[in-house]
Structure 1
Protein backbone atom coordinates (compact mmCIF):
# COMPACT_ATOMS: atom_id res chain seq x y z
CA UNK A 1 0.00 0.00 0.00
CA UNK A 2 1.32 3.44 -0.89
CA UNK A 3 1.92 5.71 2.10
CA UNK A 4 -0.34 8.67 2.62
CA UNK A 5 0.97 12.11 1.77
CA UNK A 6 1.91 14.01 4.94
CA UNK A 7 0.38 17.37 5.57
CA UNK A 8 3.85 18.95 5.79
CA UNK A 9 4.86 17.85 2.30
CA UNK A 10 6.49 20.56 0.21
CA UNK A 11 6.33 21.12 -3.51
CA UNK A 12 9.33 21.76 -5.73
CA UNK A 13 8.27 25.41 -5.99
CA UNK A 14 8.55 25.76 -2.22
CA UNK A 15 12.13 24.51 -2.44
CA UNK A 16 13.05 27.00 -5.15
CA UNK A 17 12.79 24.61 -8.09
CA UNK A 18 11.00 25.23 -11.39
CA UNK A 19 9.99 22.55 -13.91
CA UNK A 20 10.29 23.36 -17.61
CA UNK A 21 6.97 22.85 -19.43
CA UNK A 22 8.75 22.10 -22.72
CA UNK A 23 11.55 19.61 -21.93
CA UNK A 24 10.78 18.65 -18.31
CA UNK A 25 14.11 19.83 -16.87
CA UNK A 26 14.02 20.69 -13.16
CA UNK A 27 15.78 24.03 -12.71
CA UNK A 28 16.82 25.76 -9.51
CA UNK A 29 15.42 29.26 -9.48
CA UNK A 30 18.48 31.51 -9.50
CA UNK A 31 16.77 34.84 -10.18
CA UNK A 32 14.58 36.92 -7.86
CA UNK A 33 10.86 37.26 -8.42
CA UNK A 34 9.91 39.67 -11.17
CA UNK A 35 12.73 38.63 -13.50
CA UNK A 36 12.21 36.21 -16.37
CA UNK A 37 13.74 32.78 -16.07
CA UNK A 38 14.55 30.59 -19.05
CA UNK A 39 15.37 26.91 -19.29
CA UNK A 40 19.13 26.38 -19.72
CA UNK A 41 18.50 23.35 -21.96
CA UNK A 42 15.71 24.40 -24.37
CA UNK A 43 15.57 28.16 -23.57
CA UNK A 44 11.80 28.08 -23.03
CA UNK A 45 10.20 30.54 -20.61
CA UNK A 46 9.90 29.04 -17.14
CA UNK A 47 6.92 29.46 -14.84
CA UNK A 48 6.45 28.21 -11.29
CA UNK A 49 2.88 27.35 -12.29
CA UNK A 50 1.19 27.59 -15.67
CA UNK A 51 -0.06 31.18 -16.07
CA UNK A 52 -3.82 31.59 -15.58
CA UNK A 53 -4.22 27.83 -15.55
CA UNK A 54 -7.65 27.72 -13.88
CA UNK A 55 -9.23 30.56 -15.86
CA UNK A 56 -8.03 29.16 -19.17
CA UNK A 57 -9.13 25.63 -18.32
CA UNK A 58 -12.56 26.81 -17.13
CA UNK A 59 -13.06 28.77 -20.36
CA UNK A 60 -12.18 25.73 -22.49
CA UNK A 61 -14.33 23.34 -20.43
CA UNK A 62 -17.36 25.65 -20.55
CA UNK A 63 -16.94 26.07 -24.31
CA UNK A 64 -16.72 22.28 -24.70
CA UNK A 65 -19.92 21.85 -22.66
CA UNK A 66 -21.72 24.30 -24.95
CA UNK A 67 -20.52 22.58 -28.12
CA UNK A 68 -21.39 19.15 -26.71
CA UNK A 69 -25.12 19.90 -26.96
CA UNK A 70 -25.29 20.40 -30.77
CA UNK A 71 -22.69 17.65 -31.20
CA UNK A 72 -25.26 15.16 -29.92
CA UNK A 73 -28.42 16.76 -31.33
CA UNK A 74 -27.23 17.36 -34.89
CA UNK A 75 -26.55 14.49 -37.32
CA UNK A 76 -22.97 13.32 -37.74
CA UNK A 77 -23.67 11.37 -40.95
CA UNK A 78 -26.14 11.89 -43.78
CA UNK A 79 -26.72 8.75 -45.88
CA UNK A 80 -28.37 8.85 -49.29
CA UNK A 81 -29.41 5.52 -50.82
CA UNK A 82 -31.55 5.18 -53.93
CA UNK A 83 -33.08 8.61 -53.45
CA UNK A 84 -33.84 8.26 -49.72
CA UNK A 85 -31.97 10.24 -47.11
CA UNK A 86 -31.21 9.24 -43.52
CA UNK A 87 -29.48 11.45 -40.95
CA UNK A 88 -27.92 9.83 -37.88
CA UNK A 89 -26.73 11.37 -34.64
CA UNK A 90 -24.10 9.71 -32.46
CA UNK A 91 -26.72 7.99 -30.31
CA UNK A 92 -28.87 6.87 -33.22
CA UNK A 93 -25.76 5.34 -34.78
CA UNK A 94 -25.10 3.42 -31.56
CA UNK A 95 -28.71 2.18 -31.54
CA UNK A 96 -28.43 1.14 -35.20
CA UNK A 97 -25.36 -1.00 -34.54
CA UNK A 98 -27.10 -2.56 -31.53
CA UNK A 99 -30.15 -3.45 -33.62
CA UNK A 100 -28.00 -5.00 -36.34
CA UNK A 101 -26.13 -7.14 -33.82
CA UNK A 102 -22.82 -5.23 -33.97
CA UNK A 103 -22.60 -4.85 -30.21
CA UNK A 104 -18.83 -4.49 -30.19
CA UNK A 105 -18.89 -1.47 -32.52
CA UNK A 106 -21.83 0.01 -30.62
CA UNK A 107 -19.99 -0.26 -27.29
CA UNK A 108 -16.79 1.24 -28.72
CA UNK A 109 -18.62 4.23 -30.24
CA UNK A 110 -20.73 4.73 -27.10
CA UNK A 111 -17.69 4.70 -24.81
CA UNK A 112 -15.47 6.84 -27.07
CA UNK A 113 -18.12 9.35 -28.12
CA UNK A 114 -20.46 9.55 -25.12
CA UNK A 115 -18.80 8.27 -21.95
CA UNK A 116 -15.26 9.61 -22.42
CA UNK A 117 -16.17 13.24 -23.30
CA UNK A 118 -18.66 13.49 -20.42
CA UNK A 119 -16.25 11.85 -17.98
CA UNK A 120 -13.44 14.18 -19.05
CA UNK A 121 -15.60 17.28 -18.57
CA UNK A 122 -16.76 16.06 -15.16
CA UNK A 123 -13.25 15.15 -13.99
CA UNK A 124 -11.68 18.42 -15.13
CA UNK A 125 -14.49 20.40 -13.50
CA UNK A 126 -14.10 18.44 -10.27
CA UNK A 127 -10.34 18.92 -10.22
CA UNK A 128 -10.63 22.66 -10.77
CA UNK A 129 -13.27 23.01 -8.05
CA UNK A 130 -11.08 21.04 -5.62
CA UNK A 131 -8.09 23.27 -6.43
CA UNK A 132 -10.13 26.45 -5.99
CA UNK A 133 -11.38 25.20 -2.64
CA UNK A 134 -7.78 24.27 -1.72
CA UNK A 135 -8.83 20.75 -0.89
CA UNK A 136 -6.16 18.40 0.47
CA UNK A 137 -8.32 15.28 0.00
CA UNK A 138 -6.43 12.42 -1.70
CA UNK A 139 -4.03 14.52 -3.80
CA UNK A 140 -2.20 11.46 -5.13
CA UNK A 141 -5.41 9.88 -6.44
CA UNK A 142 -6.54 13.18 -7.98
CA UNK A 143 -3.20 13.54 -9.76
CA UNK A 144 -3.48 9.98 -11.08
CA UNK A 145 -7.04 10.67 -12.22
CA UNK A 146 -5.82 13.72 -14.12
CA UNK A 147 -3.10 11.71 -15.89
CA UNK A 148 -5.62 9.03 -16.83
CA UNK A 149 -8.04 11.65 -18.17
CA UNK A 150 -5.29 13.29 -20.22
CA UNK A 151 -4.23 9.92 -21.69
CA UNK A 152 -7.65 8.63 -22.79
CA UNK A 153 -9.16 11.92 -23.94
CA UNK A 154 -7.74 11.71 -27.46
CA UNK A 155 -9.62 8.45 -28.14
CA UNK A 156 -12.82 10.46 -28.42
CA UNK A 157 -11.66 11.32 -31.95
CA UNK A 158 -12.51 7.74 -32.94
CA UNK A 159 -16.01 8.74 -34.01
CA UNK A 160 -14.62 11.52 -36.22
CA UNK A 161 -12.19 9.08 -37.83
CA UNK A 162 -15.01 6.60 -38.52
CA UNK A 163 -17.08 9.28 -40.26
CA UNK A 164 -14.05 10.37 -42.29
CA UNK A 165 -13.37 6.81 -43.46
CA UNK A 166 -17.02 6.21 -44.33
CA UNK A 167 -17.23 9.43 -46.34
CA UNK A 168 -14.08 8.46 -48.27
CA UNK A 169 -15.05 4.84 -48.94
CA UNK A 170 -18.80 4.83 -49.53
CA UNK A 171 -19.05 6.46 -52.92
CA UNK A 172 -21.29 4.38 -55.18
CA UNK A 173 -22.33 7.08 -57.61
CA UNK A 174 -26.03 7.82 -57.44
CA UNK A 175 -26.81 4.59 -55.56
CA UNK A 176 -25.32 5.40 -52.17
CA UNK A 177 -23.29 8.20 -50.61
CA UNK A 178 -22.38 9.16 -47.06
CA UNK A 179 -21.63 12.73 -46.10
CA UNK A 180 -20.44 14.21 -42.83
CA UNK A 181 -23.16 16.06 -40.94
CA UNK A 182 -22.81 19.31 -38.97
CA UNK A 183 -22.63 17.37 -35.71
CA UNK A 184 -19.11 16.17 -36.61
CA UNK A 185 -17.77 19.72 -36.54
CA UNK A 186 -19.17 20.38 -33.06
CA UNK A 187 -18.01 17.00 -31.78
CA UNK A 188 -14.50 17.54 -33.11
CA UNK A 189 -14.52 20.94 -31.39
CA UNK A 190 -15.49 19.26 -28.10
CA UNK A 191 -12.62 16.77 -28.38
CA UNK A 192 -10.05 19.42 -29.28
CA UNK A 193 -11.23 21.79 -26.54
CA UNK A 194 -11.08 19.10 -23.85
CA UNK A 195 -7.61 18.02 -25.01
CA UNK A 196 -6.36 21.61 -24.78
CA UNK A 197 -8.12 22.03 -21.41
CA UNK A 198 -6.21 19.04 -20.05
CA UNK A 199 -2.99 20.63 -21.29
CA UNK A 200 -3.70 24.04 -19.74
CA UNK A 201 -4.65 22.59 -16.35
CA UNK A 202 -1.64 22.46 -14.04
CA UNK A 203 -1.85 19.32 -11.83
CA UNK A 204 0.79 20.77 -9.51
CA UNK A 205 -1.93 23.07 -8.18
CA UNK A 206 -3.39 19.96 -6.51
CA UNK A 207 -0.38 19.74 -4.21
CA UNK A 208 -0.17 23.42 -3.32
CA UNK A 209 -2.94 23.08 -0.73
CA UNK A 210 -0.79 20.67 1.33
CA UNK A 211 1.68 23.44 2.14
CA UNK A 212 -1.06 25.38 3.91
CA UNK A 213 -1.92 22.50 6.26
Structure 2
Protein backbone atom coordinates (compact mmCIF):
# COMPACT_ATOMS: atom_id res chain seq x y z
CA UNK A 1 0.00 0.00 0.00
CA UNK A 2 1.04 3.59 -0.52
CA UNK A 3 2.24 5.51 2.54
CA UNK A 4 -0.44 7.61 4.27
CA UNK A 5 1.76 10.71 4.00
CA UNK A 6 1.11 10.79 0.24
CA UNK A 7 -2.58 9.95 0.10
CA UNK A 8 -3.62 13.56 -0.36
CA UNK A 9 -1.19 13.92 -3.26
CA UNK A 10 -2.60 10.94 -5.17
CA UNK A 11 -5.81 12.86 -5.84
CA UNK A 12 -3.96 15.57 -7.75
CA UNK A 13 -4.22 15.60 -11.52
CA UNK A 14 -1.09 16.65 -13.37
CA UNK A 15 -1.11 18.38 -16.76
CA UNK A 16 0.53 15.36 -18.40
CA UNK A 17 -2.19 13.04 -17.06
CA UNK A 18 -4.80 15.45 -18.43
CA UNK A 19 -3.21 15.36 -21.89
CA UNK A 20 -1.86 18.91 -21.66
CA UNK A 21 1.56 20.58 -21.82
CA UNK A 22 2.44 24.03 -20.51
CA UNK A 23 4.83 26.51 -22.11
CA UNK A 24 7.71 27.33 -19.76
CA UNK A 25 8.12 30.79 -21.35
CA UNK A 26 4.59 32.27 -21.34
CA UNK A 27 2.76 29.60 -19.22
CA UNK A 28 0.08 29.03 -21.89
CA UNK A 29 -1.37 25.48 -21.83
CA UNK A 30 -1.74 23.45 -25.03
CA UNK A 31 -2.74 19.89 -26.01
CA UNK A 32 0.05 17.38 -25.40
CA UNK A 33 0.72 16.78 -29.10
CA UNK A 34 1.50 20.49 -29.74
CA UNK A 35 5.21 21.03 -30.46
CA UNK A 36 5.47 24.84 -30.65
CA UNK A 37 3.66 27.47 -28.58
CA UNK A 38 1.55 29.63 -30.89
CA UNK A 39 1.71 32.54 -28.45
CA UNK A 40 5.47 32.97 -27.93
CA UNK A 41 7.02 30.44 -30.34
CA UNK A 42 8.66 28.45 -27.54
CA UNK A 43 9.28 24.74 -27.82
CA UNK A 44 6.78 22.61 -25.90
CA UNK A 45 7.94 19.57 -23.95
CA UNK A 46 6.18 17.64 -21.22
CA UNK A 47 9.53 17.29 -19.48
CA UNK A 48 12.90 18.87 -20.25
CA UNK A 49 15.16 15.83 -20.71
CA UNK A 50 18.39 17.85 -20.48
CA UNK A 51 17.30 19.86 -17.46
CA UNK A 52 19.39 18.10 -14.82
CA UNK A 53 22.52 18.08 -16.99
CA UNK A 54 22.31 21.87 -17.34
CA UNK A 55 21.53 22.27 -13.66
CA UNK A 56 24.71 20.42 -12.67
CA UNK A 57 26.82 22.09 -15.37
CA UNK A 58 25.84 25.67 -14.44
CA UNK A 59 25.99 24.84 -10.73
CA UNK A 60 29.52 23.44 -10.90
CA UNK A 61 30.75 26.44 -12.90
CA UNK A 62 29.15 28.75 -10.34
CA UNK A 63 30.86 26.84 -7.52
CA UNK A 64 34.24 27.09 -9.29
CA UNK A 65 33.90 30.88 -9.46
CA UNK A 66 32.65 31.10 -5.88
CA UNK A 67 35.88 29.64 -4.47
CA UNK A 68 38.22 32.42 -5.75
CA UNK A 69 35.51 34.96 -4.86
CA UNK A 70 36.19 34.12 -1.20
CA UNK A 71 39.96 33.73 -1.47
CA UNK A 72 40.85 36.88 -3.40
CA UNK A 73 40.21 40.48 -2.27
CA UNK A 74 36.81 42.01 -2.94
CA UNK A 75 37.95 45.60 -2.23
CA UNK A 76 41.27 47.35 -2.81
CA UNK A 77 41.43 50.38 -0.50
CA UNK A 78 44.07 53.08 -0.59
CA UNK A 79 44.13 55.66 2.23
CA UNK A 80 46.84 58.37 2.29
CA UNK A 81 49.23 56.16 0.38
CA UNK A 82 48.53 53.05 2.45
CA UNK A 83 46.91 50.16 0.56
CA UNK A 84 44.80 47.39 2.04
CA UNK A 85 42.81 44.46 0.71
CA UNK A 86 39.56 42.98 2.02
CA UNK A 87 38.02 39.61 1.30
CA UNK A 88 34.32 38.91 1.84
CA UNK A 89 34.78 37.25 5.22
CA UNK A 90 37.59 39.60 6.19
CA UNK A 91 35.42 42.61 5.38
CA UNK A 92 32.59 41.23 7.51
CA UNK A 93 34.95 40.69 10.44
CA UNK A 94 36.36 44.20 10.04
CA UNK A 95 32.87 45.72 10.04
CA UNK A 96 32.01 43.79 13.20
CA UNK A 97 35.22 45.00 14.89
CA UNK A 98 34.16 48.59 14.16
CA UNK A 99 30.79 48.00 15.79
CA UNK A 100 28.72 47.72 12.59
CA UNK A 101 27.27 44.35 13.56
CA UNK A 102 24.10 44.73 11.50
CA UNK A 103 25.96 45.57 8.30
CA UNK A 104 28.51 42.82 8.98
CA UNK A 105 25.72 40.27 9.37
CA UNK A 106 23.96 41.42 6.17
CA UNK A 107 27.19 41.21 4.16
CA UNK A 108 28.07 37.80 5.59
CA UNK A 109 24.51 36.47 5.14
CA UNK A 110 24.17 37.72 1.54
CA UNK A 111 27.69 36.78 0.44
CA UNK A 112 28.29 33.48 2.25
CA UNK A 113 25.15 31.92 3.69
CA UNK A 114 22.82 32.62 0.75
CA UNK A 115 25.21 31.37 -2.00
CA UNK A 116 26.14 28.24 -0.04
CA UNK A 117 22.47 27.61 0.75
CA UNK A 118 21.59 27.93 -2.94
CA UNK A 119 24.29 25.44 -3.96
CA UNK A 120 23.02 22.93 -1.38
CA UNK A 121 19.33 23.46 -2.24
CA UNK A 122 19.80 23.17 -6.02
CA UNK A 123 21.92 20.05 -5.61
CA UNK A 124 19.35 18.54 -3.24
CA UNK A 125 16.52 19.18 -5.72
CA UNK A 126 18.51 17.74 -8.63
CA UNK A 127 19.23 14.56 -6.66
CA UNK A 128 15.71 14.21 -5.24
CA UNK A 129 13.86 14.20 -8.57
CA UNK A 130 16.03 11.51 -10.13
CA UNK A 131 14.02 8.70 -8.51
CA UNK A 132 11.12 8.15 -6.09
CA UNK A 133 12.15 9.77 -2.82
CA UNK A 134 9.17 9.72 -0.43
CA UNK A 135 9.24 13.53 0.04
CA UNK A 136 6.03 15.49 -0.42
CA UNK A 137 6.18 17.30 -3.79
CA UNK A 138 4.82 20.49 -2.24
CA UNK A 139 7.86 20.71 0.05
CA UNK A 140 10.24 20.42 -2.87
CA UNK A 141 8.25 22.99 -4.83
CA UNK A 142 8.37 25.43 -1.92
CA UNK A 143 12.12 24.90 -1.66
CA UNK A 144 12.49 25.64 -5.37
CA UNK A 145 10.40 28.81 -5.01
CA UNK A 146 12.60 29.97 -2.11
CA UNK A 147 15.74 29.41 -4.22
CA UNK A 148 14.24 31.44 -7.07
CA UNK A 149 13.10 34.26 -4.76
CA UNK A 150 16.33 34.52 -2.81
CA UNK A 151 18.44 34.71 -5.97
CA UNK A 152 17.63 38.40 -6.43
CA UNK A 153 19.46 39.23 -3.17
CA UNK A 154 22.70 37.49 -4.11
CA UNK A 155 24.17 40.57 -5.78
CA UNK A 156 24.10 42.76 -2.66
CA UNK A 157 27.87 42.47 -2.18
CA UNK A 158 28.52 43.47 -5.79
CA UNK A 159 26.16 46.45 -5.47
CA UNK A 160 27.96 47.61 -2.30
CA UNK A 161 31.31 47.42 -4.08
CA UNK A 162 29.96 49.36 -7.06
CA UNK A 163 28.55 52.10 -4.81
CA UNK A 164 31.77 52.41 -2.79
CA UNK A 165 33.91 52.57 -5.93
CA UNK A 166 31.69 55.32 -7.35
CA UNK A 167 31.60 57.40 -4.14
CA UNK A 168 35.09 57.01 -2.69
CA UNK A 169 37.46 58.48 -5.27
CA UNK A 170 39.50 61.23 -3.58
CA UNK A 171 42.78 60.79 -5.45
CA UNK A 172 45.64 60.74 -2.92
CA UNK A 173 43.40 60.87 0.17
CA UNK A 174 41.29 57.75 -0.32
CA UNK A 175 40.29 55.53 -3.19
CA UNK A 176 38.42 52.24 -3.42
CA UNK A 177 38.65 49.88 -6.36
CA UNK A 178 37.04 46.48 -6.96
CA UNK A 179 39.17 43.37 -6.61
CA UNK A 180 39.17 40.27 -8.78
CA UNK A 181 36.84 38.61 -6.26
CA UNK A 182 34.05 41.02 -7.23
CA UNK A 183 34.13 39.72 -10.80
CA UNK A 184 34.28 36.09 -9.65
CA UNK A 185 31.41 36.60 -7.22
CA UNK A 186 29.22 38.25 -9.87
CA UNK A 187 29.90 35.41 -12.30
CA UNK A 188 29.17 32.85 -9.60
CA UNK A 189 25.79 34.47 -8.91
CA UNK A 190 24.93 34.56 -12.63
CA UNK A 191 25.83 30.90 -13.17
CA UNK A 192 23.94 29.84 -10.04
CA UNK A 193 20.86 31.68 -11.28
CA UNK A 194 21.18 29.92 -14.63
CA UNK A 195 21.40 26.62 -12.77
CA UNK A 196 18.17 27.36 -10.88
CA UNK A 197 16.42 28.50 -14.06
CA UNK A 198 17.46 25.29 -15.83
CA UNK A 199 15.70 23.14 -13.26
CA UNK A 200 12.43 21.75 -14.64
CA UNK A 201 10.12 22.05 -11.63
CA UNK A 202 7.53 19.86 -13.38
CA UNK A 203 9.69 16.83 -12.56
CA UNK A 204 8.81 17.33 -8.90
CA UNK A 205 5.26 16.20 -9.61
CA UNK A 206 6.38 12.96 -11.26
CA UNK A 207 6.50 11.55 -7.73
CA UNK A 208 2.70 11.70 -7.64
CA UNK A 209 2.39 9.60 -10.77
CA UNK A 210 4.95 7.09 -9.51
CA UNK A 211 3.16 6.65 -6.20
CA UNK A 212 -0.19 6.35 -7.97
CA UNK A 213 1.16 3.58 -10.19
CA UNK A 214 2.61 1.76 -7.17
CA UNK A 215 -0.73 2.06 -5.40
CA UNK A 216 -2.54 0.48 -8.36
CA UNK A 217 -0.07 -2.41 -8.54
CA UNK A 218 -0.23 -3.03 -4.78
CA UNK A 219 -4.01 -3.42 -4.78
TM-score of the aligned structures, taking structure 2 as reference length:
0.89
Moved more, 22-31 or 177-186: 22-31
> How far apart in 1 are the matches of 2:193 and 2:120?
14
What residue is the counterpart of 2:97 in the other structure? 99
What residue is the counterpart of 1:134 in the other structure? 132
What residue is the counterpart of 2:15 in the other structure? 12
Contact 2:137/2:207 (8 A) holds in 1: no
Question: 1:17 Cα deviation (Å)?
Answer: 0.8
- Misfit runs of 4+, over 3 Å: 7-10
1:1-213 to 2 correspondence within 5 Å?
A: 5-7=8-10, 9-31=12-34, 37-213=35-211
Q: Give deviations 1:92-111, integer Å, cap 9, x for gaps.
A: 11011101111111111111
Contact 1:123/1:149 (8 A) holds in 2: yes
TM-score of the aligned structures, taking structure 1 as reference length:
0.91
Q: Give deviations 1:124-154, integer Å, cap 9, x for gaps.
A: 0001111113323121011011001111112
RMSD of aligned residue pairs (Cα, Å): 1.6
SS in 2 for 1:18: strand
Give the 3 Å change call, closer, same or farther, for CA 5–143 of structure 1 in structure 2.
farther
SS in 2 for 1:14: coil
> How far apart in 2 are the matches of 1:90 and 1:4?
47
Give the 3 Å change call, closer, same or farther, for CA 6–186 of structure 1 in structure 2.
same
How many residues align? The count is: 206
Question: 1:177 Cα deviation (Å)?
Answer: 0.7
Question: 1:51 Cα deviation (Å)?
Answer: 4.2
Q: Give deviations 1:155-187, integer Å, cap 9, x for gaps.
A: 010000000111111010111110100001111
Q: 5+ unaligned residues in a row in structure 2: which ranges?
A: 1-5, 212-219
Contact 1:170/1:177 (8 A) holds in 2: yes
Q: 5+ unaligned residues in a row in structure 1: which ranges?
A: 32-36
